[in-house]
Amino acid sequence: MDFLYTYETLKLEFPLVEPEEAAFTILGVPFDGTTSFKAGARFGPTLIRHATLNLESYILDYDIDIAKLPIADIGDVAVVAGDPKKTTDRVRETVEELKKANPKTSPILLGGEHSQTLGAVEALKPKSYVVFDAHLDLRDSYEDNPYNHACVARRISELGVKEAMFGIRSGTREEVEYAEREGIAWVHARDYDFDAFVELVKPLPEPVYLSVDIDVFDLSLVPSTGTPEAGGLSFWDVVEAIEWLVENKRIAGFDIMEVAGENLGDITALTAAKLLFYFIGAMGREL
Ligand SMILES: [Mn+2]
Span from the CA of 217 to the centroid of ligand 1 (angstroms): 10
Q: How far is the CA of 149 from the centre of ligand 1 (A)?
A: 8
Q: Is the dihedral of CA 114, 120, 125, 131 positive or negative?
A: negative
| Res 193: pLDDT | 97
Ligand 1 centroid – CA 89 distance (Å) = 21
Q: Find the DSSP H helices in 24-127.
A: 44-52, 84-101, 117-124
pLDDT value for 251:
98
Mean pLDDT for the stretch of residues 6-28: 91
Name the percent of the chain lying above pLDDT 70: 100
Q: What is the pLDDT of residues 27-42, one digit of tens each?
A: 999 999 988 899 999 9
List 107's β-bridge partners, or say none: 25
- Predicted local distance difference test score (pLDDT) of residue 4: 87
**Calpha distance 281→287 (Å, rounded):** 10
Give the distance (Å) from ligand 1 centre to CA of residue 105. Answer: 27
Dist CA 129 CA 251 (whole Å): 10
Ligand 1 centroid, distance to 74 Cα (angstroms): 26
Report pLDDT for 17: 95
What domains sit in the chain, N to C, each tagged with a CATH number? Answer: 6-133+206-286 (3.40.800.10)
**Per-residue pLDDT reduced to its tens digit, 186-231:** 999 999 999 999 999 999 999 999 999 999 999 999 999 999 999 9
Ligand 1 center from residue 183 Cα (angstroms) = 20
Convert the pLDDT of each residue in 161-183 to its tens digit.
Answer: 999 999 999 999 999 999 999 99
18 CA distance to ligand 1 centroid (A)? Answer: 32
- Give the ranges where 31-81 is alpha helix by DSSP (H): 44-52
Tens digit of each residue's pLDDT (9 = 90 or more) over 124-155 = 999 999 999 999 999 999 999 999 999 999 99
pTM above 0.85, yes or no: yes
- CB atoms inside a 10 Å sphere around CB 213: 30
